[in-house]
Amino acid sequence: MTVGWAMAILGVLTILQSTALPRLPLLGVHPDVVLLAVLHWALLRGMREGLLWALVGGLWLDLLSGLPFGLSIISLILVAFLASLWEASLFREHISLIVLATALLSVLHGGIYVALLRLTGHPAGSWSAFWRISMPTALYTSLLSPIMFAALRWLDAATRREQLEW
């Protein structure tokens, strides 16, 4: 899976996340499909590709979000690292584990992001933001995990023979 493909896929997901998905709010938030893709790719492909997708996905999000630059990069790298430590084969057979793992990692991502916002002095870095935004986002995002995991598992199988190219 080349860097170019990662940029294209995550770019499309970021654009969808900034255009179409805000039209589908649940509990006042929209799902974080970039986070979902990064977590699942880290589960499927391991650390190196997971961290690469985290870097690329975070770059896309930071370029379009308007919040302090770099927060998405750092937070996605950290959760992708943790996701890549888990054993992928467990998740292929148990859809409930995928949803659970995604929910936990999404909550963690939200907590990390809020902490980073607080470090930068942004007003959104508050405990209130964690409860009102991070938690509903994690719930909504994890509901989509079976669909995203199925799609990325197909992509993983189709591109399995390719080596990571820089």
Between 85 and 147, CB nearer to another protein? 85
Distance CA 99, CA 93 (A): 12
Report the DSSP beta bridge partners of residue 29.
26
Stretch that binds another protein, among 1-9, 53-61, 95-103, 143-151 (CB under 8 A): 53-61
Among 6, 37, 54, 152, binds another protein (CB under 8 A): 54
Check binding of 66 to another protein (CB under 8 A): yes
Burial class (CB in 10 A: 0-12, 13-18, 19+), 6: buried
159: three-class secondary structure by DSSP = coil
Check binding of 15 to another protein (CB under 8 A): yes
Q: How far, in Å, are 115, 117, 149, 162, 165 from residue 156 at the CA level?
A: 33, 34, 10, 10, 15
Say which residue the tokens 């409860």 belong to.
131
31: three-class secondary structure by DSSP = coil
Q: Mention every residue, 6+ apart, whose C-beta is less than 8 A from residue 158.
A: none
Instruction: Supply φ then ψ for residue 29, to 5 degrees.
Output: -130, 165
- Range 116-135, binding another protein (CB under 8 A): 117, 122-124, 126, 128-129, 132-133
Check binding of 96 to another protein (CB under 8 A): no
Among 3, 5, 7, 64, binds another protein (CB under 8 A): 64
CB of 99 to another protein, least distance (A): 19
Check binding of 83 to another protein (CB under 8 A): no
Which parts of this chain interact with another protein (CB under 8 A)?
14-20, 22-23, 25, 28-30, 32, 34, 45-48, 51-52, 54-55, 58-59, 61-67, 69-70, 72-74, 77-78, 81, 84-85, 88-89, 92, 113-114, 117, 122-124, 126, 128-129, 132-133, 137, 157, 160-161
